[in-house]
Structure 1
Amino acid sequence: MKNKFTYLLIACALIFMAFQKNDSEGKEKKEAGNSGAKATPVFLSATYIGEDEVYENYPLEEGEFYNPILQGTYPDPAITRKGDDYYMVCSSFAMFPGVPIFHSNDLVNWTQIGHVLDRTSQLDVHDTGISQGVYAPGITYNEYNDTFYMITTAFAGGLGNIVVKTKDPRKGWSEPYKLDFQGIDPSIFFDDDGKAYVVHNDAPEKALYQGHRVIKIWEYDLEKDQVIAGTDKVIVNGGVDIEEEPIWIEAPHIYKKNGLYYLMCAEGGTGGWHSEVIFSSEDPMGPYTPAPSNPILTQRYFPKDRENMVDWAGHADLVKGPDDKYYGVFLAIRPNEAGQVNTGRETFILPVDWSGKFPVFENGLVPMKPKLKMPEGVENKTGEEGYFPNGNFTYSEDFQSDTLDYRWIGLRGPREAFMEKTKKGLKIEPFEADINELAPTSTLFHRQMHKDFTFTTKMEYKPKSSEDMAGITCYQNERFNYAFGITRKGKDYYVLLERTEKGESRILASKKIDLDNPVSLKVQARGDEYEFSYALDGEKYENLGGKVSGDILSTNVAGGFTGAMIGLYATTANDAVPE
Structure 2
Amino acid sequence: MGILIINGCSSVDKKNSAGIYPENKTEYYVSEVWKSDQGDGTFINPILHADYSDPDVIRVGDDYYMTVSSFNCAPGLPILHSKDLVNWTIINYAINKIVPEYVFDVPQHSKGVWAPVIRYHKNEFYIYWGDPDFGVYMVKTKNPAGLWEAPVLVMEGKGIIDPCPLWDGENTYLIHAWAGSRAGINSVLTINQMNSEGTKVIDEGKHVFDGHEKHHTLEGPKLYKKDGYYYVFAPAGGVATGWQLVLRSKNIYGPYEEKVVLEQGSTAINGPHQGAWITTPNGDSWFFHFQDKEVYGRVLFLEPLSWEKDWPVIGKDLDGNGIGEPVLKEKKPNVGKQYPIQTPQENDDFNNGKYGIQWQWYGNPSIKWSAQIPGTDYLRLFCMSKKELPNLWDAPNLLLQKLPAENFTTTTKVKLNIEWETAGKTAGLLMMGQSYAYAGISFEEGSFWVKQVVCTDAIAGAKEKVIAKKKLQKNEVFLRMEVKSPDANCLFSFSEDGKNFQPIGESFKAQKDLWISAKMGIFSISEANVRMGSYADFDWFKVSK
Q: Report if TM-score (shorter chain) is over 0.5.
A: yes
Partner SS for 1:133: coil
Name 1:184's counterpart in structure 2.
Answer: 161
For 1:125, the aligned partner's letter is: F
Name 1:316's counterpart in structure 2.
Answer: 275
Deviations 1:494-529 (A, max 9, x none): 222222222223425222312325200000011133
Q: CA deviation at 1:462?
A: 4.2
Q: Does 1:534 align with 2:494?
A: yes
Q: Does 1:169 align with 2:144?
A: yes
Match of 2:234 among 243, 260, 265: 265
Taking a change above 3 Å as real, the CA distance of residues 108 and 224 of structure 1, as seen in their structure-2 partners, is: closer
Q: CA deviation at 1:104?
A: 2.2
For 1:162, the aligned partner's letter is: Y
Match of 2:196 among 214, 217, 222: 222
CA contact (8 A) 2:81 2:91 kept: yes
Deviations 1:520-560 (A, max 9, x none): 0000011133100111121111111133323xx2x4xx6x2
Partner Cα separation in structure 1 for residue 30 and residue 456 of structure 2 = 25
CA contact (8 A) 1:189 1:253 kept: no
Taking a change above 3 Å as real, the CA distance of residues 108 and 61 of structure 1, as seen in their structure-2 partners, is: closer
Q: CA deviation at 1:415?
A: 6.6
Match of 1:371 among 329, 350, 356: 329
Taking a change above 3 Å as real, the CA distance of residues 184 and 457 of structure 1, as seen in their structure-2 partners, is: same
Partner Cα separation in structure 2 for residue 330 and residue 481 of structure 1 = 29
Deviations 1:34-86 (A, max 9, x none): xxxxxxxxxxxxx997547xx7xx99251012322222111100112222222
Count of residue correspondences: 480
Deviations 1:454-512 (A, max 9, x none): 00000111454442110111012xx3211320123322332222222222234252223
Name 2:370's counterpart in structure 1.
Answer: 419
For 2:262, the aligned partner's letter is: L
Partner SS for 1:537: coil
Q: CA deviation at 1:418?
A: 1.6
CA contact (8 A) 1:494 1:510 kept: no
Partner Cα separation in structure 1 for residue 392 and residue 484 of structure 2 = 28
Partner Cα separation in structure 2 for residue 126 and residue 109 of structure 1 = 33
Partner SS for 2:473: coil
Name 1:469's counterpart in structure 2.
Answer: 426
CA contact (8 A) 1:465 1:487 kept: no
Deviations 1:11-47 (A, max 9, x none): xxxxxxxxxxxxxxxxxxxxxxxxxxxxxxxxxxxx9
Q: CA deviation at 1:448?
A: 0.9
Partner Cα separation in structure 1 for residue 32 and residue 528 of structure 2 = 30
Partner Cα separation in structure 2 for residue 490 and residue 542 of structure 1 = 23
Q: CA deviation at 1:150?
A: 0.7
Q: Does 1:492 align with 2:460?
A: no
Match of 1:148 among 104, 116, 125: 125
Which runs of no fewer than 5 residues in structure 2 stay unpaired? 1-28, 318-322, 530-545
Name 2:108's counterpart in structure 1.
Answer: 129
Taking a change above 3 Å as real, the CA distance of residues 133 and 258 of structure 1, as seen in their structure-2 partners, is: same
Partner SS for 2:469: strand
Match of 1:350 among 295, 303, 319: 303
Taking a change above 3 Å as real, the CA distance of residues 226 and 355 of structure 1, as seen in their structure-2 partners, is: same
Q: Which moved more, 1:398-407 or 1:446-455?
A: 398-407
Match of 1:548 among 508, 511, 515: 508
Partner SS for 1:131: coil
- What TM-score comes out, normalization by structure 2 length? 0.81
Taking a change above 3 Å as real, the CA distance of residues 319 and 263 of structure 1, as seen in their structure-2 partners, is: same
Q: Does 1:243 align with 2:213?
A: yes
For 1:179, the aligned partner's letter is: V
Which runs of no fewer than 5 residues in structure 1 stay unpaired? 1-46, 304-308, 336-340, 390-394
Partner Cα separation in structure 1 for residue 328 and residue 438 of structure 2 = 33
For 1:361, the aligned partner's letter is: I
Match of 1:566 among 520, 528, 534: 520
Q: Percent of counterpart pairs with the same letter? A: 26
CA contact (8 A) 2:231 2:249 kept: yes
Match of 2:178 among 199, 202, 222: 202
The structure having more radius of gyration, on CA atoms, is: 1
Partner Cα separation in structure 2 for residue 332 and residue 417 of structure 1 = 37
Name 1:36's counterpart in structure 2.
Answer: none
For 2:52, the aligned partner's letter is: Y
Name 1:68's counterpart in structure 2.
Answer: 46
Partner Cα separation in structure 1 for residue 126 and residue 178 of structure 2 = 21
Partner SS for 1:330: strand
CA contact (8 A) 2:313 2:324 kept: no
- What TM-score comes out, normalization by structure 1 length? 0.76
CA RMSD of aligned residues (A): 2.9
For 2:207, the aligned partner's letter is: V
Higher helix share: 1
Matched ranges for 1:32-47 at <5 A: none
Match of 1:405 among 356, 377, 391: 356
Q: Does 1:297 align with 2:262?
A: yes
Taking a change above 3 Å as real, the CA distance of residues 498 and 366 of structure 1, as seen in their structure-2 partners, is: farther
CA contact (8 A) 2:314 2:325 kept: no
Name 1:43's counterpart in structure 2.
Answer: none
Q: CA deviation at 1:161?
A: 1.4
Taking a change above 3 Å as real, the CA distance of residues 516 and 87 of structure 1, as seen in their structure-2 partners, is: same
Q: Does 1:284 align with 2:252?
A: yes
Partner SS for 2:437: strand
For 2:148, the aligned partner's letter is: W
Partner SS for 2:155: coil
CA contact (8 A) 1:48 1:453 kept: no
Partner Cα separation in structure 2 for residue 196 and residue 448 of structure 1 = 39
Partner Cα separation in structure 2 for residue 416 and residue 526 of structure 1 = 35
For 2:126, the aligned partner's letter is: Y
Partner SS for 1:421: coil
Name 2:538's counterpart in structure 1.
Answer: none
Partner SS for 2:470: strand
